[in-house]
A and B are shown apart, each in its own frame.
Chain A
């Protein structure tokens, strides 16, 4: 029998392929993880605090307590993801040792390195990374990210930045597709991305890995909006457990993501699910408040 190979890019990006069309929910306790799984989440993100609370608490936000991550892993049978600070490869080594299923190198936590992201090729566990445009997405993929999420602005309950970033990525992909191959080198320079990946985008007409939307989704209609704009799936952070009725909101967002093209279903699931999280207007954020500007 031939040797088995673990940690290949195919198995890393393959898990993200299996999550497509689904909703990944932020949870901070085993009980919340169970609520998410019962609502139909395809995975959960284990963290110490949801982004809205991280904003509120201030100070340095770090990887979650391993005990908490393990409790959440024991509580559910769906994949469990967890966040590390940008560039903090030791937090990533710790999460790999815990055998989490995906690591999110996330701008929601306080960056640990202002120049380098983690070398994700050196891990067996796959990584998801945030991006605001095509160039940023391709730089992360070049570092070994097996999944991308457009950043949006976490913890705001305001979908406007999520829309901006997804439109930026899809608009730039259309430009790449329409650019003659001979002129792609110039485009790669403009995007600050490797030419080989830019060529791959042209060939595929999309990113070479799955791209979810994150950062501000707070209602079933928000989730369907991002799906109609071309997201492969949805991350919901504070939007569920900061709403008035998390179980109902979770359930509704999952169904709206599945039937994103069916307004009658979105209407039906949006009915009587309690109030969404209180949102933040972007103009009230100072530059230091903007998590999306973290990372390079």
Chain B
């Protein structure tokens, strides 16, 4: 199984190391042709304005949307990736995929001095709290009916899924814990099994 990662800028290396440790090949996606043969896609943290603008410019917004519309491309967006996947964005709004019915509020936890770590209860990952790192993170202000909340901080949803899509406002790639990466791999496998 081969996964792709949007590699415009941001924490591409960390996701790569995580998937490699789990025995999954992660290929760099900078052009539409790089999407060929990938069973799932990761959109990493970074600056959503920059990533959205350059994805648009190099034809990746349309290419990913087409693959998604054709059905069965699981996508996981972390932080900036979450913003790019949201249908609605509050504040300066970058070019984006708009695949998940939710409203994202950019940098709504505050500036960098308010960035934080917290042990997070994520029931789908088991009882042990997940070490969640929030960096100038977005808030999910609203989720649609088809979207399931998977974890919250102070009553605000910070992780959710909708069909083949997974979003997290924090950065699992910055910690040692591999459970979220395993969770996404399982999601991709289930999705591939359903299609075949």
- Residues of chain A having any CB pair with chain B under 8 Å: 1-8, 10-11, 14-15, 17-22, 37, 40-43, 77-79, 96, 99-102, 124-126, 233, 254-255, 258-259
Contact of A1 among B30, B45, B117, B154 (CB under 8 A): B154
Count of A-B contacts with CB under 8 A?
Answer: 122
Contact assessment for B129 and A2 in the assembled complex, using a CB-CB cutoff below 8 Å: yes
- Residues of chain B having any CB pair with chain A under 8 Å: 7-14, 30, 45-47, 49-50, 53-54, 79-80, 91-92, 106-107, 110-119, 129, 133-136, 153-154, 171, 174-175
Contact assessment for A14 and B174 in the assembled complex, using a CB-CB cutoff below 8 Å: yes
Contact assessment for A233 and B135 in the assembled complex, using a CB-CB cutoff below 8 Å: no
Contact of B50 among A17, A41, A99, A101 (CB under 8 A): A41
Greatest chain B CB density within 10 A among A5, A14, A17, A19 is at A14
Contact of A7 among B53, B113, B118, B153 (CB under 8 A): B113
Contact assessment for A2 and B113 in the assembled complex, using a CB-CB cutoff below 8 Å: no
Q: A8-B117, A11-B115, A15-B115 are known contacts. Are A78 and B14 too (CB-CB below 8 A)?
A: no
A259–B30 alpha-carbon span in the complex (Å): 9
Q: A1-B153, A18-B10, A258-B54 are known contacts. Are A6 and B113 too (CB-CB below 8 A)?
A: yes
Q: A42-B46, A77-B107 are known contacts. Are A10 and B117 too (CB-CB below 8 A)?
A: yes
Contact assessment for A20 and B13 in the assembled complex, using a CB-CB cutoff below 8 Å: yes
Q: A101-B136, A259-B30 are known contacts. Are A18 and B47 too (CB-CB below 8 A)?
A: yes
Q: Name which residue of chain A comes closest to B94, CB basis.
A: A77
Contact assessment for B119 and A2 in the assembled complex, using a CB-CB cutoff below 8 Å: yes
A125–B8 alpha-carbon span in the complex (Å): 26
Greatest chain B CB density within 10 A among A4, A100, A124, A255 is at A4
Residues of B contacting A79 in the complex (Cβ-Cβ under 8 angstroms): 47, 112, 136
A77–B105 alpha-carbon span in the complex (Å): 12
What are 16 A-to-B residue pairs whose CB atoms are below 8 Å? A4-B118, A6-B116, A11-B112, A11-B115, A17-B14, A18-B45, A18-B79, A18-B80, A21-B7, A42-B50, A78-B49, A79-B47, A79-B112, A99-B110, A99-B113, A125-B112
A233–B10 alpha-carbon span in the complex (Å): 10
Instruction: Beyond the given A3-B118, A19-B46, A78-B50, please list 15 additional residue pairs across the A-B interface where CB-CB is below 8 A.
Output: A5-B117, A8-B116, A10-B117, A14-B174, A18-B46, A18-B47, A20-B11, A21-B9, A22-B47, A77-B92, A101-B112, A124-B113, A125-B112, A125-B113, A259-B30
A21–B46 alpha-carbon span in the complex (Å): 9
Residues of B contacting A77 in the complex (Cβ-Cβ under 8 angstroms): 49, 91-92, 106-107
Contact of A4 among B80, B91, B116, B174 (CB under 8 A): B116
Q: Name which residue of chain A comes closest to B134, CB basis.
A: A11
Give the 7 A-B residue pairs with the shortest CB-CB distance, closest first. A21-B9, A101-B112, A11-B115, A4-B116, A22-B9, A42-B47, A77-B92
Q: Name which residue of chain B comes closest to A123, CB basis.
A: B113
Contact of A15 among B8, B116, B117, B136 (CB under 8 A): B136
Contact assessment for B136 and A40 in the assembled complex, using a CB-CB cutoff below 8 Å: no
Contact assessment for A18 and B11 in the assembled complex, using a CB-CB cutoff below 8 Å: yes
Q: Name which residue of chain B comes closest to A125, CB basis.
A: B113
A192–B121 alpha-carbon span in the complex (Å): 43
Contact of A101 among B8, B106, B111 (CB under 8 A): B111
Residues of B contacting A259 in the complex (Cβ-Cβ under 8 angstroms): 30
Q: Name which residue of chain B comes closest to A13, CB basis.
A: B174
Contact of A20 among B9, B54, B135 (CB under 8 A): B9
Contact assessment for A258 and B30 in the assembled complex, using a CB-CB cutoff below 8 Å: yes
A14–B45 alpha-carbon span in the complex (Å): 10
